[in-house]
């Protein structure tokens, strides 16, 4: 019963009219020939795959779930998943942004991110199977030996094999310094890995012949804590010298988690019983190597919630236009019907516009970050690469936490638009809510992202990264500050930009006296920063829309963009005032509560 239409027009607007992606790519040697027409053509076909192949098996996959044969330790994915993956590989989608030297198409990361937004809208659980392979690919590309690259990267590029990251253990989640998995060196240079991992997304399945597990473990001489962690590649099947598959490795699925959502994805309990692995990178430097994958995953998780926000909005909007209930408070609107469609009611519009605004703001931020990553990887100027990497590091926790918090709120609101029908499975809305909930938890909970943003990315370098983003805001304010038509979009971000310096300094000073002050303020702080970032992009989008309208363009798309921006600044952006007040309330009302929490 749900439907999905890829938002190609809005993607094109963000990439070509707001961010001028083609101009950015011209400065990058690997992507200098990638123009707007190429990007549009690829995403149009990608949208067809998402809507026609992945989307139809979303609800059925959620209903059926995955099945584990405890005798063989093999997992069967829901009906249609394996066939859809075969079409994905056949279409070359796995190779979209991979390097040509390993069989990839060499397209920029920004194209891959837009494709994956559509895939996440269509079927988040299915998309996680190939999605995790990109992080494994990037990790091995950055830190693997030449032999590891030769063995694994062509297969990950083609999609013949998929990848996972095996971090979490039953007794430790975010605190990886506590992990116990062991790696024993062998005379032939390999390692015997022994331990247990949990919550491993796509950890076992029947869609590919081999799975490339990246496993964190400790060497015998490892120092305690996070400084004693090494990274190993541990394939499901060992690989012979000629690239063919050898014997089954001693790494297998011991159980499947029974989850709230993403039922179509096999979230596996992984048992490692003396499995053969090879070291990735340097001994005891595993976290640095794994963070390549984790940072990519954090951008990917934000993209998951963007996808869910978009598909939930589309279906809630269609329902609100069709469902009739009561009459409008301002007078009958549908005189030929016994009641008015619910879209005439102010609060229904508020819920719909909240989802729309959060989707459009997230899309602009995601595309901006994807371009930053392309520049960090490929720009010939070292300073540009460094600056792009620093800006991306600042924005990554905002992408992960702000977009996923907003995504859950938006899917709940869209479910609410359906009333009682939103609680019923066949409409698809309750699945979006369940699927969206995990995105706030994995790849570092959103509180962890908030601590990372405030403690490490901002206070850790005395606000230098924040000041660089502040310069972007300042440039836009200077450019449009005297334009009366832009005042409603410029004034709020100019004011908040000024407030951020004082706000940050105040929290930093309090944190020097008591570190709990940073912990108490961090979540609120990230949302303030998130609104500043979204506000900046909404102002840029409004800027383009106003210019098009002034030039005589009558496309209603631009009027719609202005209306959404006005709603965002009037109804959502003012949350920042409350957030700054609660952040300043300090830690005492949280920590001096032993009686209340006894």
Per-residue pLDDT of the chain (598 residues; tens, 9 = 90+): 899 999 999 999 999 999 999 999 999 999 999 999 999 999 999 999 999 999 999 999 999 999 999 999 999 999 999 999 999 999 999 999 999 999 999 999 999 999 999 999 999 999 999 999 998 999 999 999 999 999 999 999 999 999 999 999 999 988 888 999 999 999 999 999 999 999 999 999 999 999 999 999 999 999 999 899 999 999 999 999 899 999 999 999 999 999 999 999 999 999 999 999 999 999 999 988 888 888 889 999 999 999 999 999 999 999 999 999 999 999 999 999 999 999 999 999 999 999 999 999 999 999 999 999 999 999 999 999 999 999 999 999 999 999 999 999 999 999 999 999 999 999 999 999 999 999 999 999 999 999 999 999 999 999 999 999 999 999 999 999 899 999 999 999 999 999 999 999 999 999 999 999 999 999 999 999 999 999 999 999 999 999 999 999 999 999 999 999 999 999 999 999 999 999 999 999 999 999 999 9
Residue whose token pair is 């005042």? 487
Quote the CATH superfamily of domain 8-143: Acyl-CoA dehydrogenase/oxidase, N-terminal domain (1.10.540.10)
CA Rg value for the chain: 24
Nearest of 261, 203, 232, 243 to residue 77 by alpha carbon: 203
Query: Helix %, strand %, coil % for the chain, to 5?
Result: 65, 15, 25
pLDDT at 425: 96
d(CA 157, CA 103): 6
CA torsion, ordered 282, 286, 288, 291, to nearest 10 deg: 140
pLDDT at 173: 85
pLDDT at 176: 85
Burial label for 76, CB within 10 Å (0-12, 13-18, 19+), is middle
Nearest of 19, 52, 39, 63 to residue 121 by alpha carbon: 52
pLDDT at 562: 98
Nearest of 252, 301, 255, 585 to residue 437 by alpha carbon: 301
CB 487, CB 555: distance < 8 Å: no
Q: Where are the beta strands (DSSP E) in 86-204?
A: 161-166, 182-185, 191-201
Q: Where are the beta strands (DSSP E) in 49-138?
A: 67-69, 74-76
pLDDT at 295: 87
CB 504, CB 521: distance < 8 Å: no
pLDDT at 175: 87
pLDDT at 428: 97
The catalytic residue positions are 443
CB 110, CB 299: distance < 8 Å: no
CB 533, CB 395: distance < 8 Å: yes
pLDDT at 572: 98
pLDDT at 177: 86
Beta-ladder partners of 183: 193
Q: What DSSP designation does 62 have?
A: H
pLDDT at 198: 97
Please check whether the domain covering 163-287 is classified as CATH 2.115.10.20.
no
Per-residue tokens: 137: 């690919």
How many Cβ atoms sit within 10 Å of the Cβ of residue 194? 17
Beta-ladder partners of 197: 270
């Amino acid at each position: 019963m749900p439907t999905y239409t890829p938002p190609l027009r809005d993607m094109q607007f963000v990439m070509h009219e707001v961010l001028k992606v083609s101009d950015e790519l011209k400065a990058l040697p690997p992507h200098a020939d990638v123009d707007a027409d190429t990007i549009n053509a690829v995403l149009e076909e990608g949208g067809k795959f998402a809507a026609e192949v992945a989307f139809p098996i979303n609800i059925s996959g959620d209903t059926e779930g995955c099945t584990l044969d405890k005798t063989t330790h093999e997992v069967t994915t829901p009906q249609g998943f394996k066939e859809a993956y075969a079409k994905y590989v056949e279409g070359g989608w796995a190779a979209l942004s991979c390097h040509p030297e390993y069989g990839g198409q060499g397209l920029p990361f920004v194209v891959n991110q837009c494709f994956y937004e559509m895939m996440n809208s269509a079927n988040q659980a299915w998309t996680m199977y190939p999605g995790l392979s990109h992080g494994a690919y990037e990790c091995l590309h950055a830190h693997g030996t030449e032999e590891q690259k030769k063995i694994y990267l062509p297969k990950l590029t083609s999609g013949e094999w998929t990848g996972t990251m095996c971090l979490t253990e039953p007794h430790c989640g975010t605190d990886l310094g506590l992990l116990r998995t062991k790696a024993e060196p062998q005379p032939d240079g390999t390692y015997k890995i022994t331990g247990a991992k949990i919550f491993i997304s796509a950890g076992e399945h029947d869609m590919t012949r081999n799975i490339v597990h990246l496993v964190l473990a400790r060497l015998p001489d490892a120092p305690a804590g996070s400084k004693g962690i090494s990274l190993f590649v541990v394939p499901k099947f060992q690989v012979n010298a000629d690239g063919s598959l050898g014997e089954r490795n001693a790494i297998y699925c011991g159980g499947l988690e029974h989850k709230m959502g993403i039922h179509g994805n096999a979230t596996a309990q992984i048992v490692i019983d003396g499995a053969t692995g090879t070291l990735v990178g340097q001994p005891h430097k595993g976290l640095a190597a794994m963070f390549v994958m984790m940072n990519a995953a954090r951008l990917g998780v934000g993209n998951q919630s963007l996808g869910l926000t978009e598909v939930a909005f589309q279906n809630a909007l269609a329902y609100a236009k069709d469902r009739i209930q009561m009459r409008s408070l301002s007078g009958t609107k549908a005189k030929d019907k016994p009641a008015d469609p619910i879209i005439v009611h102010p609060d229904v519009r508020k819920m719909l516009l909240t989802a729309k605004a959060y989707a459009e703001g997230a899309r602009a931020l995601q595309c901006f970050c994807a371009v930053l990553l392309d520049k960090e990887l490929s720009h010939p100027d070292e300073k540009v690469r460094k600056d792009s990497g620093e800006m991306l590091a600042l924005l990554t926790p905002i992408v992960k936490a702000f977009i996923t918090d907003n995504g859950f709120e938006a899917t709940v609101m869209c479910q609410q638009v359906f009333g009682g029908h939103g609680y019923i499975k066949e409409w698809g809305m309750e699945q979006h809510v369940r699927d969206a909930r995990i995105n706030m938890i994995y790849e570092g909970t959103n509180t962890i992202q908030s601590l990372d943003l405030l403690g490490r990315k901002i206070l850790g370098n005395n606000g230098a990264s924040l000041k660089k983003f502040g310069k972007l805001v300042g440039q836009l304010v200077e450019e449009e500050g005297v334009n009366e038509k832009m005042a409603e979009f410029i004034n709020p971000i100019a004011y908040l930009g000024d407030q951020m310096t004082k706000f940050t300094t105040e929290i930093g000073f309090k944190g020097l006296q008591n570190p709990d002050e940073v912990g108490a303020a961090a979540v609120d702080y990230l949302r303030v920063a998130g609104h500043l970032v979204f506000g900046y992009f909404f102002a840029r989008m409004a800027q383009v829309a106003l210019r098009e309208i002034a030039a005589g363009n009558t496309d209603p798309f631009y009027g719609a963009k202005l209306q959404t921006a006005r709603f965002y600044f009037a109804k959502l952006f003012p949350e920042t005032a409350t957030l700054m007040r609660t952040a300043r309330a300090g830690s005492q009302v949280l920590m001096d509560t032993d009686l209340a929490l006894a």
